[in-house]
Every structure is written in C-alpha cells, then in structure tokens.
Amino acid sequence: MTPQPQPDDERTRIREAMDRLLGGQPTTSNGSLTVAALAVEADVHRMALLKRHADLKNEFYERVRNETRQIPETEKRLRETVAKLKKTVANQKEEIDDLRQQVTLLAMAGAVLVNGQGTPSAPEPPPADAPDNVIPFRPTTG
C-alpha cells in the first residue's frame, strides 16, 4: 500500500504541471490546456483537483486566459450553449407571438360566425333543381 501524497506535495506538483503545460512542455499529458490534462500532468486525481484544489483550478484557467490569450475549453462550450439557448428562446418567442395572433384571428372568426348572421332560423328548402340530399349552409338569395 502506497502512502497518500500530502496536500502540500499535491499543490506543488499541480503548480509545476501548470508551468509545464503553459510552457508547452508536457511530460505525461497530451498538452491540452484543460483540467483533465493538468490532473494527468500533476499525477493527481481529477476530482482531487476539482474538490480539494479548486483555487488552483481557477488559477490555472486564469493563467490560460492571461498568458496564452486563449479562452478555456469549458468556457467556449458554455458560451456556445448560451448562444444556442438564446436562439431557441428567440425562436420560441416568435412562435408564441404567431400563435397569439392566430388565436386572436380565430376568436374573431368565431365571433363573426356566431354573431354575424343574427339568430339562427330554420333552413330554407333547397332550390327545385337540387338533389334530395343537398342542404344549403346559407340561405339562398334570390
């Protein structure tokens, strides 16, 4: 059974791994500027980096932003997701506005049909030349 590394030893390894990654000289990771690569480079479990050393994770992302003038990959993904969600919300607002207009038009059409023709009366007999099974919807004008 191997002894657990001390937190100070982990923090030192993480900072050294940051320097190697930002310097473009990774030794054990793929060299990407991500927390996963930092954890591999520092030989620290990723969850330990995220939970116990969250301040170092934030420091790493800040250094990535300042020293390389790059946006961290997680921030890029979040920005893409936010842009997609904003577009979805705009489309839904447009669709809701269209549906509201349709409801208004249908309500007005219903009112015209119900109230526009006055009180219902008995249907008039069909014209003499119409077949037996034809019933007019509207009164014939003549």
Query: What is the domain partition of the chain in residue ranges?
Result: 7-70, 74-106
User: Tens-digit pLDDT profile for the chain (142 aa)?
Assistant: 455 556 678 899 999 999 999 888 888 888 888 889 999 999 999 998 889 999 999 999 888 888 888 787 778 889 999 999 999 999 999 999 999 999 999 988 888 888 765 555 555 665 677 677 766 666 555 5
Q: d(Cα 17, Cα 83) in Å, to the nearest integer? A: 33
What pLDDT shows up at residue 129?
72
* Token pair in block for residue 50: 């995220």
What pLDDT shows up at residue 19?
92
Q: d(Cα 17, Cα 24) in Å, to the nearest integer? A: 11
DSSP state of 52: T
Claim: this prediction has a pTM higher than 0.85: no
Q: d(Cα 56, Cα 62) in Å, to the nearest integer? A: 10
DSSP state of 125: P
* Closest to 49 in 3D by CA, of 5, 83, 87: 5
